[in-house]
Amino acid sequence: MAKQDRAIRTRQTILAAAAKVFEQRGYQAATISEILGTAGVTKGALYFHFESKDDLAQGVLAEQDQRMVVPRRACRTQELVDVVMLHAHRLQTDPMVRAGVRLSLDQQAHDLDRSGPFLRWGQVMDKLLHDARDRGELLPHVIPTETGEVLVGSFAGVQAMSQAVSDYQDLPDRVCALLRHVLPTVVLSSVLASIDLSRTRGALVLAELDASPETALSPGLLDRQPVA
């Protein structure tokens, strides 16, 4: 294994351990020695990649960005649905995504800047909604930035509610219900009629990405990039 590959793997091992410890203990109570113990790496290796607990948390928060990729669709509204439903599916299945979302809602993490994921998700939604508007998919009164922020905020709460009442078991249903309540005030009904908004959409998109990772697209950045 090349030196660089090994460094990337070590970094991922440390991030996975940090995600686990932050999720179990919360940001405030988590310590670097716990993360070291869970990762099974040396102190030197950890500090080579991350300066501080804050830096580790920002690393976990940023991992979400790597997972905001979906295949290109002719209809941008479908891409938006795909990004949202894929994220819901990953919340059920991917510990790193779950840790990132929980960190971003950790109210006791006073010193941690938690605005990043909200802002980055806002950018992704903003980009997709601007594209959708330019392609004539949206109702004329829609302000893409405002709609994007409503979607990001609502999603954050719907996932928190799903976690509190069902430990994420009902998440796809709740997210579908949210989209069915918001999209008709945003997109043309002719566009709505062509959209797949079923509860299994997230799992479908993930299977598609796993089968052909080269189709992945990062909507916020507008460039094609491989899935990590």
Q: Is 61 helix (H, G, I), strand (E, B) or coil?
A: helix
d(CA 199, CA 6): 38
CB 127 within 8 A of CB 148: no
**The CA-based dihedral angle spanning residues 204, 210, 214, 215, taken in that order and rounded to the nearest 10 degrees:** 0
Query: Smallest distance from the beta carbon of 222 to its own copies, in angstroms?
Result: 24
Query: Smallest distance from the beta carbon of 223 to its own copies, in angstroms?
Result: 27
Query: Smallest distance from the beta carbon of 207 to its own copies, in angstroms?
Result: 27
Residues 78-107 touching its own copies, rule: CB under 8 A, are: 102, 104-107
Tokens found for residue 119? 């802002």
Query: Smallest distance from the beta carbon of 210 to its own copies, in angstroms?
Result: 29
For position 209 contacting its own copies by CB under 8 A, the verdict is no
For position 114 contacting its own copies by CB under 8 A, the verdict is yes
d(CA 25, CA 5): 30
For position 28 contacting its own copies by CB under 8 A, the verdict is yes
Binding segment for its own copies (CB under 8 A), chosen from 63-71, 86-94, 115-123, 128-136, is 115-123
Strands (E), 94-217: 216-217
For position 165 contacting its own copies by CB under 8 A, the verdict is yes
Query: Which of 78, 123, 162, 218 touches its own copies (CB under 8 A)?
Result: 162
State the CB neighbour count (10 A cutoff) for residue 26.
Answer: 15
d(CA 151, CA 109): 24
Q: Give me the residues that bind its own copies (CB under 8 A), please.
A: 25-26, 28-29, 102, 104-108, 114-115, 118-119, 146-147, 149-150, 152-165, 174, 177-178, 180-182, 184-186
